[in-house]
Amino acid sequence: MKKLMTAFAACMIAGLVSAQVESQNVVGYQAMDLGAGFNMLGLNFQEVGGTTVFDIQGVDNPLIDVNEIAADIDVLQIFDTATQKFKAYTMYPVYGSPDWDGQWTEFGVGTLTPLTLTTGQGFLFNASGAKTLTFKGQADFVETVNSFNFAAGFNTFGSQFPADFDFNSEVVAGAIVDNDVLQLFDPLTQKFTAYTMYPVYGSPDWDGQWTEFGVGTLVGPLVLGMGEGALYNRDAAGVGTPVEFSRPY
């Protein structure tokens, strides 16, 4: 069973006297207990300092401890919206070779390539066995709403804020079109469940609520847990209109 824990440490508030504005940096870590098999994850943190793109290559990468990865066995899969396919990577073992230690290589190819993860990006992690992955970074306390400009077809994503996220209360419903499909992954069954949004017809109990695809019943809170990722199948009619996510804290 997946457990998510967060510790925010070293909260620093610095006053900008001339503008009468306060800025806030909250950094911490997230320990995720994963089961063997596929896990759909999402990157919620920024790099300390506010950078949203992490270089995840090498033993000194700022995001994750490479000692938690089973080299040559655990598989990281990153989705390409252009090709609509996942590309798989395995990690080279730490043998004392600075150019290769802790580097991700393309599965079946074995060549080093630049590899990054972006805040709000979703990805698959196929764990060879039960393990804990620890992500570290900075929480976003600047933006109150972040937007995803989803491409037509499938997209992977995660919340851009390190907190649980309820799709029935935190997503701006007007950005959703009729044929959009949200898919959430269950690591226990190793399956996705699909949801579509009920149109706004003037019914308060149903308007803008997600219903299970093919079932049509209200699901109540539809939560993407902290650190989890999801699939979003964007209809072509919605391309160009961002789907907006409210900050849940």
SS (H, E, C) 27-71: EEEEEEEECCEEEEEECCCECCCCCCEEECCCCCCCCECHHHCCC
If we measure between CA atoms, which residue out of 153, 156, 169, 163 comes closest to residue 210? Answer: 169
Of the candidates 60, 74, 51, 197, the one whose C-alpha atom is nearest the C-alpha of residue 133 is: 74
User: CA-to-CA distance for 61 and 103, rounded, in angstroms?
Assistant: 10
| pLDDT at res. 16 | 22
> Which amino acid, 142?
V
Return d(Cα 61, Cα 163) in angstroms, integer.
Answer: 23
Three-state secondary structure call for residue 91: strand
For 205, the token pair is 């109990």
pLDDT < 50 positions in the chain: 1-23
- pLDDT value, residue 6: 45
- Single pTM value for the model: 0.87
pLDDT of residue 220: 84
Q: Could you give the count of Cα atoms lying within 13 Å of 173 in the half-sphere of its Cβ?
A: 15
pLDDT digits (tens, 9 = 90+) for 122-171: 999 999 999 999 999 999 999 888 889 999 999 999 999 999 989 988 87
